[in-house]
Structure 1
Amino acid sequence: MARRPSPFPMPYLSRRHLLGTTLSLASIAPFGRVAQAAEEAQVNVYNWDTYIGTDTLAEFTEATGIDVRYDLFASADELFGKLREGNPGFDVIFPSNNIVERMAAADMLIAVDRTLIPNLENIAPAFANAPYNPGLKWGAPYFWGTQGLGYRQSMFPTKPTSWKDMTENEAMQGRFSLLSGVDTLRMALKALGFSLDTRDPAQIAAAGDYLIRIKPGIKTFAPDTGQDLLLAGEVDICLEWSGDIQQVAAEDDDLAYVIPEEGSMLWSDNMVIPKGAPHPINAHAFINFILTPEVHGAIATEIGYASPNAAAMAFIPEAARNNRAIYPSEETLARCEYATYKGEAVETLYEQAMTRVLAA
Structure 2
Amino acid sequence: MQVNPSRRGFLAGLGTAAVGITFSGLAGCKKHPAQMVNFYNWDTYVGKNTLSGFEKASGIGVNMSLYSNNDELFAKLRGGNPGYDVVVPANDFVQRMAKANMLMPLDHAKIPNMKNILPRFQDAPFDPGRKYAMPYTWLVLGIGYRKSKIQGVPDSWKWVLDSPQYKGRIAVLSDAADLCRLTEIYLGADMNTFDKATLAKVQDLLIRQKGNIATFHDDNGQDLLLSGDCDIVIEYNGDIAQVMREDKDLAFVVPKEGSILQSDQLCIPAGAPNPDAAHAFINYLLSAEAGADISRTIRYPTPNAAALAQMDAEYRDNPAIFPPEAALAKCQYANYLGEDAYRAFQDVITRVRAA
TM-score by length of 1: 0.87
Shift of 1:271: 0.4
SS of aligned partner of 1:252: coil
Question: Quick check: 242-251 or 128-137, which moved more?
Answer: 128-137
More deviation, 297-306/284-293? 297-306
Quick one: distance in 2 between partners of 1:11 and 1:354? 38
- Which residue is 2:151 aligned to? 157
Cα deviations across residues 108-135 of structure 1 (Å, max 9, x unaligned)?
Answer: 1000111221111211221111121222
Which segment is superposed worse, 276-285 or 263-272?
Answer: 276-285
Q: Give CA deviations for 1:37-90 in whole Å, capped at 9, x if unaligned.
A: xxx611111222232112211212222222222222222222222222222222
Equivalent in 134, 138, 148 of residue 140 of structure 1: 134
SS in 2 for 1:269: strand
Compared CA separation, residues 174 and 11, structure 1 to 2 (3 A): farther
Partner Cα distance (1:304, 1:174) in 2: 29
2:312 matches 1:298: no
Map 1:158-173 onto structure 2 (within 5 A). Answer: 158-173=152-167
Given candidates 258, 266, 273, the residue that maps to 1:271 is: 266
1:248 and 1:295 map into 2 onto residues whose CA distance is: 22
Distance 2:106 2:160 in 1: 42
- Residues 1:43 and 1:95: Cα distance change in structure 2 (over 3 Å): same
Give the equivalent residue in structure 1 for 2:234. Answer: 239
Q: Does 1:345 align with 2:340?
A: yes
Bigger mean CA offset, 169-178 vs 155-164 = 169-178
Residue among 265, 279, 282 paired with 2:277: 282
Whole-angstrom CA distance in 1 between matches of 2:25 and 2:152: 38
1:72 aligns with 2:66: yes
Matched, 1:335 2:337: no
The reply to whether residue 41 of structure 1 matches residue 55 of structure 2 is no
Give the Å deviation of 1:179: 1.5
8 Å contact from structure 2 (residues 161, 183) kept in 1: no
| 1:88 and 2:75 correspond | no
Q: Which runs of 5+ in 2 are unaligned?
A: 1-7, 27-32
Q: What is the alpha-carbon distance in structure 2 between the residues aligned to residue 60 and residue 265 of structure 1? A: 32
Matches for 1:1-360 after TM superposition, within 5 Å: 3-9=17-23, 41-181=35-175, 182-360=177-355
Measured in 2, the distance between the counterparts of 1:11 and 1:335 equals 40
Q: Could you tell which deviates more after superposition, 273-282 or 250-259?
A: 273-282
State the shift of 1:10 in Å.
6.3
Does structure 2 conserve the Cα–Cα contact (< 8 Å) formed by 1:148 and 1:260?
Answer: yes
2:279 corresponds to which letter in structure 1?
Answer: H
Contact conserved, 1:162 with 1:261, CA < 8 A, in 2?
A: yes
How far apart are the structure 2 equivalents of 1:234 and 1:351? 26
Q: Deviations over 1:188-215 (max 9, x none)?
A: 1122222222321111232122222212
Cα-to-partner distance string for 1:249-293 (whole Å, 9 max, x where unaligned): 111111111111111101111000111222222211111111011
CA contact (8 A) 1:11 1:54 kept: no
Secondary structure at 2:179's aligned position in 1?
Answer: helix
Q: How many residues align?
A: 334
Inter-CA distance 134–349: structure 2 relative to 1 (3 Å threshold): same
Look up the SS of the partner of 1:276 in the other structure.
coil
Q: Which whole-Å CA distance do the structure 1 matches of 2:170 and 2:69 have between them?
A: 19
Cα distance in 2 between the residues matched to 1:66 and 1:359: 48
Q: CA RMSD, aligned part only?
A: 2.0
Cα distance between partner residues in 2 of 1:354 and 1:84: 23
Q: Secondary structure at the match of 1:172?
A: coil
Q: 1:5 to 1:99 in 2, by over 3 A?
A: closer
SS in 2 for 1:283: helix
Q: Percent identity?
A: 47
Measured in 2, the distance between the counterparts of 1:315 and 1:4 equals: 32
Change (3 A) 1:80 1:62: same
What is the rounded CA distance, in whole Å, between the counterparts of 1:207 and 1:168 in structure 2? Answer: 11
1:195-247 per-position Cα deviation (integer Å, ceiling 9, x unaligned): 22232111123212222221222211111111111111111111111101111
For 1:259 and 1:5, the matched residues in 2 are separated by 29
2: CA distance, partners of 1:66 / 1:208: 49
